[in-house]
Amino acid sequence: MSSQPKLVCRDVWKIFGAGAHEALQTSNGTLTARALHDAGLVGAVRGVDLKVMPGEIFVIMGLSGSGKSTLVRCLSRLIEPTSGEILFNGENLLTATDARMIEIRRHQMGMVFQHFALLPHLTVLANVAFPLEIQGVERHTRETRALQMIELVGLFGKERFYPRQLSGGQQQRVGIARSLAVEPELWFLDEPFSALDPLIRREMQDEFLRLQSSLKKTIVFITHDFDEAIRLADRIAIMKDGEIVQAGTPEELVLHPATDYVAEFTRNVPRAKAIRAHTIMRPADGLVPAARVGGRTTVAEMAPMFASATSLIGVTGVDGHLLGVVHRDDVATLMMQG
């Protein structure tokens, strides 16, 4: 993973209401929630700073109205921020022309939203190929690429179906395949699974992690579900009233909440759901465990594996190399702590 961030957000504000620019300039960028209210303004995004590294799943989460969806639209400039700086590969998007932003969105960004927005009169193949058609890619090339993406998301054989002939989960897969067809460097997903029932949602999370293990995309993922966040995220930023109140790994947020709000947000999350294998592993010291898991596997997911006579589970890196081992006693101790 590169040491240079793919996306940088510096002191970004989005204020709705007349006189937003003037109010922000007068306050020198320190508008409080009270001052905004008194001025009849709405601070949807307030002084946000963040960095997203290449290949990282960065989850932005918060309750309804916290500003998370507005922020992701600012990051792609679907909504114009009131002020700040947004750097994508070092280029400041807020100084880019409209034509340049269209080019970036068409060729370097992928977007998936809660509502699939499939074109009902087009087949699955045509829906997935549509962004490439907009780019002017010739038909054979775009359909070949679309078929590859359809197979990648597990819909091989459905390419001639229409959206109405698919289940909700299958429609979401089409949306994902369509966003991947342009081979984006940066992938925005705004609550993509929230409209699905719990079982299909879990399956889509599994599918998402499978795709990411092979594609290694840089991802900004929006959700209000903390269980979903800790399952998918490399790092999480929690928003409240337009501000990021804490950002860190799932373990950091659960074990070391920075504010009372974060503590309350994470209070009912069992540690075993947040802590991952690579956090509690010990050196292998020549041991050869019969079972192995990836480093991102949570303790909760690993625990049932100890139901047999297994006392050690190996932890592997992305290349399959053994990094260390997890002992049954360490897992038992953590599970007892709640």
What is the Cα 182 distance to its own chain's centre? 18
Q: Token pair 């927005």 is at which residue?
A: 117
pLDDT at 225 over 80: yes
Q: Tell me: the pLDDT tens digits for 279-297?
A: 899 999 888 888 899 888 8
Among 248, 270, 292, the domain boundary falls at: 270
Domain shared by 236 and 301, yes or no = no
Altogether, the residues listed in the chain come to a count of 338
Please check whether residues 218 and 280 belong to one and the same domain.
no
Other CB atoms within 10 Å distance of the CB of residue 119: 12
Q: What is the pLDDT of residues 158-214, one digit of tens each?
A: 999 999 999 888 998 899 899 888 889 999 999 888 877 888 888 888 888 888 888
Write out pLDDT tens, residues 311-329: 899 999 878 899 999 999 9
- Our count of domains for the chain comes to 2
Residue 138 has pLDDT above 90, yes or no: yes
- State which of 240, 270, 300 marks the end of a domain: 270
The reply to whether 223 and 239 lie within a common domain is: yes
Whether residue 157 is found in the same domain as residue 225? yes
Q: Where residue 70 falls among pLDDT bands split at 50, 70, 90?
A: very high
Q: What's the pLDDT score for residue 319? A: 80
pLDDT digits over 74-130, tens only? 999 999 999 999 999 999 999 999 999 999 998 899 888 877 678 999 999 999 999
150 and 187, same domain (yes or no)? yes
User: Do 238 and 292 fall within a single domain?
Assistant: no
Element (H, E) at 136: none
The answer to whether residue 12 sits within a structural domain is no
CATH code at 329? Answer: 3.90.1280.20
CATH code, domain carrying 65: 3.40.50.300
pLDDT of 39 strictly over 90: no
pLDDT of residue 29: 67
Instruction: Establish if 25 belongs to a structural domain.
Output: no
Task: Provide the residue range defining the domain that includes 96.
Answer: 52-270
Distance, in Å, from the CA atom of 251 to the CA atom of 194, rounded to the nearest integer, reads: 24
